[in-house]
Structure 1
Amino acid sequence: MGVLRWGLRVRRHIGGHDNEVKSVSWSQSGSLLATCSRDKAVWIWEVQPGNEHECVAVLQGHTQDVKMVQWHPVLNVLVSVSYDNTIRVWADDGDDDWHCVQTLAEAGNGGHSSTVWSVSFNQKGDRMVTCSDDCTLKIWDTSADLSQPTTGEGHESWRHLSTLSGHHGRTIFSAHWSSEDVIASGAGDDAICLYAEEKSTTVEGPLYRLILKKEKAHDMDVNCVRWCPQDPRVLASASDDGTVKLWELRGNLLD
């Protein structure tokens, strides 16, 4: 039996940014690709026949490095987070004219007070989590109509729902929402934390609580955490210590 050999070949070089490209994200349909950079810009590319990629928008608005871009799981709505402490929501007006429909910041929105490193949506797409150099995670909720995939109308309705603080002692670099509604975070304190929504709600709305903290999950900073889409109880983590670890969530921690 022959040995199956794997390889990668470059299909296409896509240029445009003037500095380090920090993040890339495909839309749910695979027809749009978003990139962001230290040049403070977000670019949106549309996949064309013949493996061509046409730039359909260069989004300016952030005043510092853009750390991450993430497409909404249902809509053609893009979220970017930045060194300028803000979260920006981008959408088109139905005529491929992309613009910022909402900026979430500390003043007025209950946003972060320092660099925002990561953003992740829940499976339904009506909530997202962000994490920051301010050592907090923030949960955001939207009342937007998720049945309207091609218009930005109504998608400026994200509001602050909850702040999770006191669980990490250093910068939180990564947060990821599982399909079972467990949020994982990884930070510069070498720890991984897991959070879930309380079954009871207050007048202000639902609350989230820490359900597990793994101290010294790595020997150095935890840079990224990601839940497996096929098995939502398997978590991968990546660290400055040069290792990737796979974790299994055991027990019924959500009771």
Structure 2
Amino acid sequence: HSGCVASVCWPEDADVFTGSWDRSVRKWDAESGKCTQTFNTSKAVYSVHTTPNNACVALSGAEKAVRLWDPRLKESTSAAAVLLSHSSWVSCVRWVPENPHHLWSASHDSQVKLWDIRGKVPLHTVTAHTDKVLCVDTHAQKHVVSGGADCNLHWHSMDLS
């Protein structure tokens, strides 16, 4: 990378994914440390997260969109899908481990959104924060926690199974 590395995701032994302010997401061979694939974007990347089988990489950054990249397509130069609903930069993305179609996003618009990537509209929006939401994570298809610039953590329970 030629800019700040803002995110790293190591889902399996073989591959590591990184997101950078140089506007790229890279796939690395964990054993050799060599970059094996690069996906370029138009904005700085703040967060990358992959499905457990590396079939889809979600990325977010200095834009209102969540982009999805399929690293199995070796010559991929454009996003497989773009999810639009946030009104400000998207700071963090996290897949629901038990469901490869569900993805959480956190944004500077103070919202956390749950997506089913097969559609274009969020399934659920959490509006508990009063400032930028900077991080989000999920557990057991029933819980999501988010943290933000309002100095608060918010826990939410919902059954996603």
User: TM-score higher than 0.5 here?
Assistant: yes
* Residue of 141, 144, 157 corresponding to 1:235: 144
CA deviation profile, 1:88-137 (whole Å, cap 9, x unmatched): 11115xxx4321111111xxxxxx32111101111332112111111111
| Post-superposition offset of 1:143 | 2.9
Residues 79, 90 of structure 1: 8 Å contact kept: yes
Deviations 1:49-107 (A, max 9, x none): xxxxxxxxxxxxx1111101111x23421111011111111115xxx4321111111xx
The change in CA–CA distance for 1:162 and 1:251 in structure 2 (over 3 A counts) is closer
**Residue number in structure 1 paired with 2:18:** 80
Matches of 1:82 and 1:102, distance apart in 2: 14
2:141·2:160 contact (CA, 8 Å) conserved in 1?
no
Distance 1:176 1:131 in 2: 10
Q: Is the 8 A contact 1:120 1:128 kept in 2?
A: yes
Query: What amino acid is aligned across from residue 196 of structure 1 in structure 2?
Result: D
Aligned length: 158
Q: Are the aligned partners of 1:168 and 1:189 in contact in 2 as well (CA < 8 Å)?
A: yes
Say whether residues 1:244 and 2:156 are aligned partners.
no
Counterparts in 2 of 1:208 and 1:140: CA distance versus 1, 3 Å: farther
Which among 224, 229, 232 is matched to residue 135 of structure 2? 224
Instruction: Give the aligned partner of residue 182 of structure 1.
Output: 102
Runs of 4+, deviation exceeding 3 Å: 156-159
Match for 2:111 among 180, 188, 191?
191
Q: Can you give the 5+ residue segments of structure 1 that lack an aligned partner in the other structure?
A: 1-61, 106-111, 145-155, 199-206
Relative to structure 1, is the Cα distance of residues 249 and 158 closer, same or farther in structure 2, using a 3 angstrom cutoff?
farther
Q: Residue 164 of structure 1 aligns with which residue?
A: 83
| Structure 2 residue 61 is matched with structure 1 residue 132 | yes
Where does residue 65 of structure 1 map in the other structure? Answer: 4
Letter matched to residue 77 of structure 1: D
User: Quick check: 1:212 aligned with 2:124?
Assistant: yes
What is the Cα-based RMSD across aligned positions, in Å? Answer: 2.1
Structure with greater Cα Rg: 1
Q: Residue 150 of structure 2 aligns to a residue in which SS? A: coil
- C-alpha contact (below 8 Å) 1:113/1:134 kept by paired residues: no
CA contact (8 A) 1:79 1:89 kept: yes
Letter in 1 for 2:49: S
Over 3 Å counting, the alpha-carbon distance change for 1:251 and 1:89 in structure 2 is: closer
**CA shift at 1:222, angstroms?**
0.4
Q: Does residue 28 of structure 2 align to residue 116 of structure 1? A: no
TM-score, normalised to structure 1, is: 0.57
Q: Determine if contact 1:162/1:208 at 8 Å carries over to the other structure.
A: no
Q: CA deviation at 1:251?
A: 7.1
Summarize deviations over 1:177-210 as a string: whole Å, max 9, x none.
0022311111101011110033xxxxxxxx5542
Distance across 1 between alignment mates of 2:138 and 2:82: 21
Q: 1:87 to 1:223 in 2, by over 3 A?
A: same
Matched-pair contact (CA < 8 Å) for 1:188–1:220: yes
Matched-pair identity in %: 20
TM-score normalised by structure 2 residue count: 0.87
